[in-house]
Amino acid sequence: MRREVVIVGSGIAGLYCALLCAQHSRVRLVTKNTIVESSSSYAQGGIAAVLGTQDRFSKHIGDTLRAGAHHNNRHTVKLVVQEAPQHIQALIDLGVQFSLDPRGKLDLTREGGHSKRRIVHVHDMTGQAVEQALIAAVRHHPNIRIQENELAIDLIKRRNRVVGLQTVKGYYYADAVVIATGGAGQIYPYTTNPPVVTGDGVAMALRAGAKARDLEFIQFHPTAYYLPGKQPFLLSEALRGEGAYLRNHEGKRFVNELLPRDKVSRSVYRQQRNGLVYLDFRHRSKSFLLNRFPGIYQRLAQDKLSLEKDLIPITPVAHYLCGGVHTDNHGRSSLPGLYVIGEAAHTGLHGANRLASNSLLECLVFASRTAKYLTRIQAHHQHFKAKKMNLPKPDDTSIGLRQQLQNVMWEAGGIIRSAAGLTSGVQAVRAIQASLDPRQVELRNMAIVAEAVLTAALKRRRSLGCHYRVN
């Protein structure tokens, strides 16, 4: 019998893991929307790796630790940094055409917290390019079965071991379940994350009894373009890496734009008390900006704004879950049979605040390490039992509860937190949870993760990294 691995999620972690697992196992890739829908597809800045002659592993390690307020696992940081270049090469071999400099070498850009230029990118649409290459490879692989528009509901456990996955279509019993469901940005009203990112995998793992860590460290990205009533749109940190300024309502620069994100976000947030804050790239030419940042340029053009002429209004928004389901360096969670990779995992790489462009890197490294580890496991019992689950459609009440939950999170678990705010936030989230029908799957998952974030934030009394408390 051949081993069967079920992977949940089709972001870069899930796709890369599927492709590598398919070398030795049959893979079922379950994803709740179309295969492209994920945070990965919207990633702009790029992937960090030591590739330049001026750079050193020790510098990337040092930058990662500094950004993470030294709350990181040093061993994990070291192995991720050292394994990075081989995965960039693997992506190139799969056909990803990273942007090149005028000499025909990889164009390395810079973002906040990096002491060197070390970020490979495809203009400002890196995630889309990597996803496309991985999707093409996965679609053509005879050992991978892709199941789109299939929501995973829960893990199946037998005697403290995860033995399968329940989805809206039924029960899949498999040799290993890999959660690659991404973060939980949707628990906030303002986020860069797409609507599918509702914390499902983290909530499933918590319900099953897996250990999670560092959930209080929610990273807020300092520069989203935001107009009231519209979904925020990320203005990549690479804009600042290439020289864009931040200006307050008086037109003055107020912060070193290339500090790690937590510091810049708080600084922008404070300036917003006095008025609008802007990104300013008017000192660069249209041809440079259009060529280097075509996605951002075109999005702003829809609102009749141009980077070379206009100040662009910005705001910090929820961006990244630094913690997650705790795993070892083979993707193993505390529950036998359950593996977690990508943003849903806590590997110890990011510490208290993730360094820019280290997330896609973490997805690649741990997808690969997990796939490798899975060659060691035996094939057991595999089968599928169909049982369709009918879920209620969102109605005014559930939409209202979702907004209520998001607003509680912005107030209580936002950029600046307090003991009183967190305490009342936990109570409010619990009250929302109590009123939910368990078949409101995503909303229930959001509430579970929201409560876990607030509880963790309440326990950590001192500010650290992107967890900032006034009392």
Q: Which positions lie near ligand SIN, rule CB under 6 A?
A: 44-45, 236-238, 356-357, 359
Residue of the chain from 14, 68, 222, 425 that contacts ligand FAD (CB under 6 A): 14
Q: Is 206 in the site for ligand FAD (CB under 6 A)?
A: no
Of the pair 146, 314, the CB lying nearest ligand SIN is at 314
Which one from 3, 28, 118, 261 is the annotated catalytic residue? 261
- Judged by DSSP in three states, 317 sits in strand
Structure-token pair, residue 384: 């599928």
Of the pair 127, 413, the CB lying nearest ligand SIN is at 127
197 binds, among ligand FAD, ligand SIN, none (CB under 5 to 8 A by kind): ligand FAD
Of the pair 312, 426, the CB lying nearest ligand FAD is at 312
Do the bridges between strand 4-8 and strand 26-30 make them parallel or antiparallel, or are there none, so unpaired? parallel
Rounded distance, CA 401 to CA 133, Å? 38
Binding letters toward ligand FAD, positions 106-135, x by CB under 6 A = --------------------xx--------
32 binds, among ligand FAD, ligand SIN, none (CB under 5 to 8 A by kind): ligand FAD
| Residues 454/429, Cβ–Cβ less than 8 Å | yes
Of the pair 35, 374, the CB lying nearest ligand FAD is at 35
Min separation Cβ 434 and ligand FAD, Å: 22
* 411-444: burial string, b at 16+ Cβ within 10 Å, e else: ebbbbebeeebbeebbebbeebbeebeeebbbbb
Which residue, chain included where needed, has tokens 């305490």? Answer: 423
Min separation Cβ 403 and ligand FAD, Å: 20
Residue 328 CB partners (closer than 8 Å, separation 6+): none
Min separation Cβ 186 and ligand SIN, Å: 16
Of the pair 46, 348, the CB lying nearest ligand FAD is at 46
Q: Is 200 in the site for ligand FAD (CB under 6 A)?
A: yes
Of the pair 175, 200, the CB lying nearest ligand FAD is at 200
For 330-400, strand residue ranges (E) read 338-340, 345-346, 383-386
Axis crossing angle, helix 126-139 with helix 12-21, rounded to the nearest 10 = 30
Which among 6-14, 75-83, 284-292, 452-460 is the span making contact with ligand FAD, rule CB under 6 A?
Answer: 6-14
For the chain, what is the radius of gyration of the CA atoms? 21
31 binds, among ligand FAD, ligand SIN, none (CB under 5 to 8 A by kind): ligand FAD
Residue 289 CB partners (closer than 8 Å, separation 6+): 281, 297, 307, 308
Q: Is 196 in the site for ligand FAD (CB under 6 A)?
A: yes
261 is annotated as an active-site residue: yes
Q: Is 360 in the site for ligand FAD (CB under 6 A)?
A: yes
Residue of the chain from 6, 22, 45, 350 that contacts ligand FAD (CB under 6 A): 45
Rounded distance, CA 327 to CA 301, Å? 43
Rounded distance, CA 262 to CA 295, Å? 25
Alpha helices, DSSP H only, in 194-252?
200-208, 237-241
Q: Is 295 in the site for ligand FAD (CB under 6 A)?
A: no
Give the N- to C-terminal CA distance of the chain in Å, as an integer: 58
Q: Could you tell me how far CA 241 lies from the centroid of its own chain?
A: 20
Min separation Cβ 181 and ligand FAD, Å: 4
Min separation Cβ 361 and ligand SIN, Å: 9
Rounded distance, CA 357 to CA 50, Å? 12
- Judged by DSSP in three states, 206 sits in helix
Q: Rule CB under 6 A: which of 367-406 touch ligand FAD?
A: none
Do the bridges between strand 26-30 and strand 47-48 make them parallel or antiparallel, or are there none, so unpaired? unpaired
Structure-token pair, residue 396: 């005014």
Q: Rule CB under 6 A: which of 132-171 touch ligand FAD?
A: 151-152
Which among 26-34, 56-64, 269-277, 429-437 is the span making contact with ligand FAD, rule CB under 6 A?
Answer: 26-34
Residues that bind ligand FAD (CB under 6 A): 8-14, 30-33, 37-40, 42-47, 126-127, 151-152, 180-182, 192-193, 196-197, 200-201, 234, 320, 342-344, 357-360, 363
Query: What residues are labeled active site?
Result: 261
